[in-house]
A and B are shown apart, each in its own frame.
Chain A
Amino acid sequence: QKEVEQDPGPLSVPEGAIVSLNCTYSNSAFQYFMWYRQYSRKGPELLMYTYSSGNKEDGRFTAQVDKSSKYISLFIRDSQPSDSATYLCAMSVGGSEKLVFGKGMKLTVNP
């Protein structure tokens, strides 16, 4: 079993849709959870960073962490064509900078 599982998609939605991206993990030692966005042929860009269970909101983005279920989510409201990218979840244990990534979900938002 992989430490971090992420549905690779691809996912195609119309502009304005609410998008839900999810990852599950098996290592209960993970304490820090991140979502990255990666455009084609670019480096990953940090979108959201959380370290506790619950929700964190930043503009159109909401990150949700459920440590009891070992499940994290990223919600994108009012999706835009510029949101078309690959979204990667990543997590690390306490005391370590090593990130373990999901495989990434390719999202396309159609105008």
Chain B
Amino acid sequence: KAGVTQTPRYLIKTRGQQVTLSCSPISGHRSVSWYQQTPGQGLQFLFEYFSETQRNKGNFPGRFSGRQFSNSRSEMNVSTLELGDSALYLCASSLGNRGGDEQYFGPGTRLTVT
């Protein structure tokens, strides 16, 4: 079974630009969660999508948004990029039927904002 895939793996953007990251979950998984990982803050939850609906949201500004498609693939968008948005962005997938399921992470997209 293929794992979670994320594209692109690396991105360099300039302040003020916007960026879209993509995540394809494990086949059969309907929940996709997004996390930001930085050396200072560690792994922080951004949001979770299940059956095309945002089911949970972390404490990030509205510049961070996401969506999920009918095939469970998900995208997250960051608008008006700031230097502090430089981070590893990880997505995780799970069955999502009951909450607290085992979550499997992708390799991440490393975003650098200059």
Contact = CB atoms under 8 A, between A and B. Distances in A.
Contacts of B56: 96-98
Given A42-B107, A43-B90, A92-B99, A98 B42 contact: no
Nearest to A91: B100
Interface in A5-50: 31-32, 34, 36, 41-46, 49
Interface in B85-114: 90, 92, 94, 96, 98-108, 110
A43 B105 contact: yes
A49 B90 contact: no
A27 B37 CA distance: 22
Main secondary structure of the interface of B (DSSP, over half): strand
A97 B103 contact: yes
B48 interface: yes
Contacts, number: 71
Contacts of A100: 45
Given A43-B107, A44-B105, A97 B99 contact: yes
A99 B102 contact: no
Nearest to B100: A32
Classify chain B's interface size: 20 to 34
- Which of B44, B92, B96 counts the most chain A CB atoms within 10 A? B92
Given A34-B102, A94-B99, A101-B44, 5 more contacts: A36-B105, A51-B100, A97-B48, A99-B92, A103-B42
24 contacts: A32-B100, A43-B90, A43-B107, A49-B102, A51-B100, A88-B42, A92-B99, A93-B99, A93-B100, A94-B99, A95-B98, A96-B100, A97-B48, A97-B55, A97-B56, A97-B100, A97-B103, A98-B58, A99-B33, A99-B43, A100-B45, A101-B43, A102-B42, A104-B42
